[in-house]
């Protein structure tokens, strides 16, 4: 039988210059140690967000145009050099911070291109991706998950652990269960992975009636050795989930990321989006 999860490969932390950088690195280091997996810190230099010179030379005389193009090329080269230096410094800083706090040796990778393209390029060797809720170019005032998170979750086929603003090693987790095939699979993936082994679990369903498979999911987790507190509550899923996270002091939330056919609802207007926006804890998105 094919395993529901990849049982080898690396934990890859996507770091940038946002306020989530050290939390992403710390969360990834925790996950790597729990999984017994090597850790990679990756920084992608995306030309689209780093800025490039605009070509304003269309209406200039030939001599002036050639001079301007040369100056623009020099400016682009300098920007690229500075972006690489900044990226190397960022990776060294994150790795140095980890070395001070935990016994883990992180590999650093500096790559060019869009983050999503880079993650897809290395996905075959990856067990878990760790990303921040928002990147350095996100609008923090809107409190909405960043566009890179949306792109990553849409594109990759590995679990994605969305780090909180500050890292704290999880001691208790909650699985949001709605009876769908995706959330039933989530339970099986939790059982199959050592990531959360030994941590108390709250299994939560929200709705007017207990969803099909809820008791079976609780029993499956208990059979795997988890201490399980299972409850079905009435109300709006996003509101109830966020409230239960606070009330039970949950440190990590497990949710289904759904399939590609529904992925546009994941970030735009869905329960998952609202929970990501409201909860200040890490969220593990499984598919």
Same domain, 155 and 202: no
**Residue 228 contacts by C-beta under 8 Å, 6 or more apart in sequence?**
200, 201, 202, 203, 218, 221, 222
Per-residue pLDDT reduced to its tens digit, 249-276: 999 999 887 544 333 343 434 666 667 7
Angstrom distance (rounded) from CA 7 to CA 193? 8
Same domain, 180 and 118: no
Same domain, 156 and 16: yes
Per-residue pLDDT reduced to its tens digit, 15-27: 998 888 999 999 9
Output the pLDDT for position 270.
Answer: 61
Same domain, 238 and 138: no
Same domain, 157 and 202: no
200: in domain: yes
Angstrom distance (rounded) from CA 138 to CA 250? 26
pLDDT mean across residues, the chain? 83
Q: What is the DSSP string of 161-189?
A: EEE-SS----S-EEEE--SSHHHHHHHHH
> How many structural domains are present in the chain?
2
Output the pLDDT for position 68.
Answer: 66
**Residue 35 contacts by C-beta under 8 Å, 6 or more apart in sequence?**
11, 127, 128, 193, 194, 195
96: in domain: yes
Boundaries of domain holding 275: 173-286
User: 3-state DSSP call for residue 130?
Assistant: strand
Domain boundary residue, one of 143, 163, 183: 163
Output the pTM of the full model.
Answer: 0.83
Same domain, 188 and 224: yes
66: in domain: no
Same domain, 16 and 156: yes
Same domain, 123 and 241: no
Same domain, 45 and 126: yes
Strands laid side by side in the 39-45 sheet: 106-112, 39-45, 10-14, 126-132, 160-163, 283-286, 252-256, 173-176, 201-206, 228-233
**Residue 148 contacts by C-beta under 8 Å, 6 or more apart in sequence?**
14, 115, 116, 131, 135, 138
202: in domain: yes
Averaged over 215-219, what is the pLDDT? 97
| CATH code at position 276 | 3.40.50.620
75: in domain: no
Angstrom distance (rounded) from CA 94 to CA 96? 5
Which residue bears the tokens 């230099």? Answer: 45
Same domain, 139 and 235: no
- HSE (side-chain half, CA atoms, 13 Å) at 21: 20
Q: What is the DSSP string of 184-247?
A: HHHHHHHHH-STTTTS-EEEEEESSSPPTTHHHHHHHHHHTT--EEEEEE-S-HHHHHHHHHHH
Which residue bears the tokens 């529901």? Answer: 4
Are 213 and 179 a contacting pair, CB within 8 Å?
yes
Same domain, 178 and 152: no
Same domain, 139 and 201: no
Other beta carbons within 10 Å of 64: 11
Per-residue pLDDT reduced to its tens digit, 89-110: 999 999 998 988 888 889 999 9
Output the pLDDT for position 134.
Answer: 61
Angstrom distance (rounded) from CA 49 to CA 18? 13
30: in domain: yes
- b/e map of 172-181 (b: 16 or more CB within 10 Å)? bbbbbbbbbe
């Amino acid at each position: 039988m094919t395993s529901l999860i990849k049982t080898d490969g690396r934990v890859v932390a996507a770091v940038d210059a946002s306020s989530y950088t050290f939390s992403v690195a710390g969360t990834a280091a925790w996950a790597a140690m729990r999984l017994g997996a090597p850790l990679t810190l990756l920084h992608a230099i995306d030309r689209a967000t780093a800025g490039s010179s605009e070509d304003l030379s269309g209406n200039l005389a030939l001599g002036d145009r050639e001079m301007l193009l040369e100056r623009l090329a020099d400016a682009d080269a300098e920007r690229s050099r500075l972006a690489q230096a900044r990226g190397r410094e960022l990776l060294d800083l994150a790795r140095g911070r980890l070395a001070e706090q935990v016994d883990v040796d992180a590999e650093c990778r500096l790559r060019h291109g869009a983050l999503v393209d880079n993650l897809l390029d290395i996905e075959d060797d990856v067990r878990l991706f760790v990303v921040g809720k928002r990147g350095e170019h996100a609008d923090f005032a809107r409190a909405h998950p960043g566009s890179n998170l949306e792109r990553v979750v849409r594109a990759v086929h590995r679990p994605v652990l969305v780090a909180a603003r500050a890292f704290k090693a999880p001691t208790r987790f909650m699985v949001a269960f709605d009876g769908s095939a995706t959330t039933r699979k989530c339970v099986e993936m939790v059982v199959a992975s050592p990531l959360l082994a030994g941590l108390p679990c709250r299994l939560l369903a929200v709705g007017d009636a207990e969803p099909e498979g809820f008791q079976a999911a609780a029993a499956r987790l208990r059979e795997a050795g988890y201490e399980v507190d299972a409850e079905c509550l009435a109300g709006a899923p996003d509101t109830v989930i966020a409230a239960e996270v606070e009330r039970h002091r949950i440190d990590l939330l497990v949710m289904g990321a759904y399939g590609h056919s529904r992925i546009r609802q994941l970030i735009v207007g869905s329960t998952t989006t609202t929970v990501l926006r409201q909860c200040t804890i890490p969220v593990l998105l499984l598919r």
